Chains A and B, each alone.
Chain A
């Protein structure tokens, strides 16, 4: 079967660093996406990994290990506006499958 696992909720402190993990088992692999979704809004694209390694984009970085079926999203210098759900999504053989999302709460 196809499955994407990520923690349901996480809490972190403003200014700190947080890592959101994602593990996946899919039929085929053609890339992994991270999206940010604020409550009541549509997802916005954060990152795309297709090869192993770390992709850095400002305060956000995403890592992929295809052999382990594992990815993480790293958020640095957390700001209150980073409070949102973070969706891990994998493009399999024919379509993109979304994880249930991780609700990240930032405390002052």
Chain B
């Protein structure tokens, strides 16, 4: 149980384009989903917390207009990187949580390379 998927696993795009990443909880309903970014040899950095049906809560320093998050259902959250630039190249990982104070389960991650 507690399987989280992400799609796509790899994205290469041109600078200025937008990229959408999907995160799905496959066998449970996630009240909360989280989006992280991880640069090489660094730890996970929380970008935003997403609750179904409400606006995402962004961490300090994360631009909400650049990283659009939609949590349309209890099993799906999407992250759209708008007008991507090379510095946005990173490993983006989502996680899903069944209920408050429950364990977070991570998706396999999406590696984004912006040329």
Contact = CB atoms under 8 A, between A and B. Distances in A.
Q: How many interface residues does chain A have, given as a range?
A: 20 to 34
A99 B108 CA distance: 19
B44 A43 contact: yes
Interface in A61-108: 87, 91, 95-101
Contacts of A31: 101
A23 to B, nearest CB: 15
B: interface residue count bin: 10 to 19
B106 A44 contact: yes
B101 A43 contact: no
B54 interface: no
Contacts of B44: 43, 87, 98
Nearest to A88: B43
A105 B49 CA distance: 33
Interface string B104-115: 111111010000
B103 A42 contact: no
B106 A100 contact: no
A100 B43 contact: yes
Interface string A19-61: 0000000000011010100001111110010000000000000
A45 B108 contact: no
B81 interface: no
A100 B103 CA distance: 19
A95 B107 CA distance: 18
A42 to B, nearest CB: 4
B49 A95 contact: yes
A96 B77 CA distance: 19
